[in-house]
Amino acid sequence: MADGRGGSHGATPNDLDAFWMPFTANRQFKAAPRMFVAAEGMHYTTQDGRQVLDGTAGLWCCNAGHGQPRIIEAIREQAGILDYAPAFQMGHPKAFELASALRDMAPEPFEHVFFTNSGSESVETALKIALAYHKARGEGGRTRLIGRERGYHGVNFGGISVGGIVTNRKAFGTLLAGVDHLPHTHIPQNAFTRGQPEHGAHLADELERIVALHGAETIAAVIVEPMAGSTGVLLPPKGYLKRLREITERHGILLIFDEVITGFGRLGASFAAERFDVMPDLITCAKGLTNGVIPMGAVLATSEIHDAFMQGPGHLIELFHGYTYSGNPIAAAAGLATLRTYREDGLFERADGLAGYWEEALHSLAGLPHVIDVRNMGLIGAIELEPIEGAPTKRAFQAFLNAYDKGILIRTTGDIIALSPPLIIEKAHIDELIGTLGEVLSALD
């Protein structure tokens, strides 16, 4: 007999079977679940009542910590006033307020904001804007997109096409045509770097080889993470981003910075473009825009990009692109409260001030068993472990499980442990996080 849901399965409280979890070893998780039921400040509360120190800002997104009162109240208030409004040919005040606030926070060249609902959507939007921009200027032959090996640009087809993480690509066919990749910048001589590595700026010159191969007139855009996060915290060598900017400008190619992770204070500035003093043509962002509380992303564009579309009769749609939830009222309210929290609590400055203490703590792990590299910048860091022969990723995953049991949340990618705590972290939290992680690493086989 069918139950009240119109099915015959029967409803069971906390049944784990129905949810196909993303980027998760589903069978392993469901055999021994790790459940969070509450969060406040720097800590999660587990289903069995333990406190777990958040060493990853959720998933690189809760930069202002958990349970921020301004954000909670903004969401509550907005939900009672205007829950939803369409963004196609209509508007509501909060979306325009947030766009202005984001413009004011961004580096000077960026004057316009296109709202999305995630980092993946921000990347798709930026790629489409780049293609349409060239066509609007009479250079419709520029259709080729250039990414980078080990790059992560979300999980939609455009993002995994320009992305360079093999496991994210290999099950999904041929992907987009006309895509090429720069080499990554993770080279052995930069092991145990503090801040930007000394070696590797020359790798940007590989773009000249790609231009010579395909012709500049065929290339629309190059997309890179200023600092690659999801692949395991790969830092840009000194001079690399500036060199990339010089080459793209010389050949009329747009440069897109994927700042979904590096945006909103992670490196001690509003955006990595500001931190590295290299201005691209488009910036993608998400995650920290709403502190991870409600899905929202954005693409920041210069006036040169935006104005190229503002031609022809005024009643015509300029860009045939957008989402049902672009600039959602509740998400916009959360975004405004989040940016206000960053500003009023001085969180970007706080992150910058703690960077030195964070660096020293991280590099104290350098001599532990199986540690083959430590690297850091801002409030982000990575500890790379020697893989177990024949069982890649297993050692780092065991570290993740053991760390959770000991009360800290870390993130692993391959055999790399990545750390990116909320910007509200205190020195005592850093001591606890790194001290506990040291115990975990010391006990690993």
pLDDT of residue 407: 98
Average pLDDT over residues 141-166: 97
pTM comes to 0.96
Tens of pLDDT, residues 86-121: 999 999 999 999 999 999 999 999 999 999 999 999
Distances (CA, A) of 291 to 61, 71, 76, 192, 260: 6, 9, 16, 30, 12
Flag whether pLDDT at 7 surpasses 70.
no
CB 409 within 8 A of CB 46: no
Tens of pLDDT, residues 234-288: 999 999 999 999 999 999 999 999 999 999 999 999 999 999 999 999 999 999 9
Which residue(s) pair with 114 in the sheet?
Answer: 299
Average pLDDT over residues 219-231: 97
Under the banding of pLDDT at 50, 70 and 90, the label for residue 13 is low
Average pLDDT over residues 222-232: 97
pLDDT of residue 14: 76
Mean pLDDT (the chain, rounded): 96
Under the banding of pLDDT at 50, 70 and 90, the label for residue 11 is low
CB 348 within 8 A of CB 342: yes
Burial of 228 (0-12, 13-18, 19+ CB in 10 A): buried
Using CA atoms, how far apart are residues 302 and 281, in angstroms rounded to an integer?
A: 6
Using CA atoms, how far apart are residues 406 and 429, in angstroms rounded to an integer?
A: 14
pLDDT of residue 5: 47
Picking from 94, 81, 51, the residue whose alpha carbon sits closest to that of residue 337 is 94
CB 224 within 8 A of CB 151: yes
pLDDT of residue 58: 98
- Residues near 200 by Cβ (< 8 Å), separated by ≥ 6? 185, 187, 190, 237, 240
For the CA atoms of 211, 213, 214, 216, the dihedral, rounded to the nearest 10 degrees, stands at: 20
Average pLDDT over residues 176-191: 96
Using CA atoms, how far apart are residues 13 and 17, in angstroms rounded to an integer?
A: 11
Tens of pLDDT, residues 311-369: 999 999 999 999 999 999 999 999 999 999 999 999 999 999 999 999 999 999 999 99
CB 92 within 8 A of CB 85: yes
Task: Give the distance, in angstroms, between the CA of residue 139 and the centroid of all CA atoms in the same chain.
Answer: 31
CB 241 within 8 A of CB 225: no
CB 145 within 8 A of CB 162: yes
Using CA atoms, how far apart are residues 145 and 161, in angstroms rounded to an integer?
A: 9
Average pLDDT over residues 412-421: 97
